[in-house]
Amino acid sequence: MDTLSLDPGLYIVATPIGNLGDMTRRAIDVLGAVSVIACEDTRVTGKLMAHLGIRKPLRRYDDHADAAARDALIQLMREEAVALVSDAGTPLISDPGYRLVRAAQAEGIAVTSLPGPSALITALTLSGLPTDRFLFGGFLPGKDKARGDVLRELAAIPATLVFYDTGPRLAETLDAMAELLPRREIAVARELTKLFEECRRGSAAELAAHYHEHPPRGEIVVLAGPPSEAPAPDAAAVDAALREALARLPISQAAKDVARSTGLDRKVLYVRALALQSEAP
């Protein structure tokens, strides 16, 4: 029996990211009171509903759904309360829902968001990195070039950066961070709220070495603290570091090595290394 009477509209409902005990009382009440639940995957949400003892029609929805499917949900919201959930966590956070919320608001439909679990906030609060300013970057691109472009774009931002990641990609992400975010402290938060929850903090190079050796399982958030205040090395020190690296490495590798240790741009260092090499007796 429904205990709550809801006005028509869209209800965004966060669900647990691993521990079913994290379902809020209000989320349970609202899911028990809506007419329809829009979800990413009816099997995943079906299991959660079975656990909660709630039987409601489930309708598959994601932001790639065609306009007709979205319109049908919008029509329903004019008369009925409709919930939106994702497989886990807060809808719209690297999950579907943005287009649906925009469309509902454009039609003057009431939208209510119920706060609840999200891996983003759980990881940030657990990481021990500064929380006063942060930037959520979603999933980094999988391809080296595109991932590098994003990290270069964000490298100077004075805030903690938060990314979602996957086990197979983590070590490569950390390699890229070691090269492009060398002055940031990194944290890896894994399997949050679950039995094997883990949070490790260190330099990107240290964590990359660890995860190359111990390929991680499960769900992962990678965080990079704000760039450290270390003063930029002076030109003479950079030249000395480049000369030392050129004595043992090919030029591009030397530039990469010094970029990693100084936080300076690899392409700029490459050009300087070429000049130093041509000056060499």
Q: How far is the CB of 93 from ligand SAM (least distance, A)?
A: 4
Cβ contact 15:21 at 8 Å: no
H/E segment holding residue 10: strand 9-13
**Residue 193 binds ligand SAM, judged by CB under 6 A:** yes
User: 233-272 mask for ligand SAM (x: CB under 6 A)?
Assistant: ----------------------------------------
**Do the Cβ atoms of 274 and 266 come closer than 8 Å?**
no
Instruction: Please count the other Cβ atoms lying within 10 Å of the Cβ belonging to residue 143.
Output: 9
For the window 145-174, what string marks contact with ligand SAM as x by the rule CB under 6 A? -------------------xxx--------
Q: Which is nearest to 88 in space by CA: 38, 26, 13? A: 13
Number of residues that bind ligand SAM (CB under 6 A): 24
Name which position in 31, 119, 188, 273 contacts ligand SAM (CB under 6 A). 119
Residue 270 tokens, joined:
């490459």
Report the nearest approach of ligand SAM to the CB of residue 18 (Å): 4
Report the residue number, 17 or 36, with the smaller CB distance to ligand SAM: 17
Q: Under the criterion CB under 6 A, does residue 101 sit at the interface with ligand SAM?
A: no
The answer to whether residue 125 forms part of the interface with ligand SAM (CB under 6 A) is no
- 48 near ligand SAM (CB under 6 A): no
CB of 190 to ligand SAM, least distance (A): 6
Answer yes or no whether residue 24 interacts with ligand SAM by CB under 6 A: no
CA distance 85 to 280: 64
Toward ligand SAM, which CB reaches closer, 197 or 239? 197
CB 184 within 8 A of CB 163: no
Q: Can you tell me which residue has the tokens 């050796």?
A: 213
Nearer of residues 24 and 94 to ligand SAM, judged by Cβ:
94
For position 182 contacting ligand SAM by CB under 6 A, the verdict is: no
Please say which residue, 196 or 250, places its beta carbon nearer to ligand SAM: 196
Spatial neighbors of 181 by CB under 8 A, at least 6 apart, are 151, 155, 161, 204, 224, 227
CB nearer to ligand SAM: pick between 74 and 192: 192
CA-to-CA separations, 213 to 34, 197, 208, 216, in angstroms, rounded: 48, 19, 9, 9
3-state secondary structure of 77: helix
Of 6, 17, 208, 238, which lies in the binding site for ligand SAM, with binding defined by CB under 6 A? 17
Which residue from 69, 93, 101, 154 is in contact with ligand SAM, where contact means CB under 6 A? Answer: 93
* Cβ-proximal residue to ligand SAM, closest one: 89
Q: What whole-number distance in Å separates Cα of residue 275 and Cα of residue 279?
A: 6
Burial class for 132, CB neighbours closer than 10 Å (0-12, 13-18, 19+): exposed
- The structure tokens listed for 141 are 């691109």
Report the residue count for the chain: 281
Give the shortest CB-232-to-ligand SAM separation in angstroms: 33
Binding site for ligand SAM (CB under 6 A): 17-18, 86, 88-90, 93-95, 118-120, 164-166, 189-194, 219-221
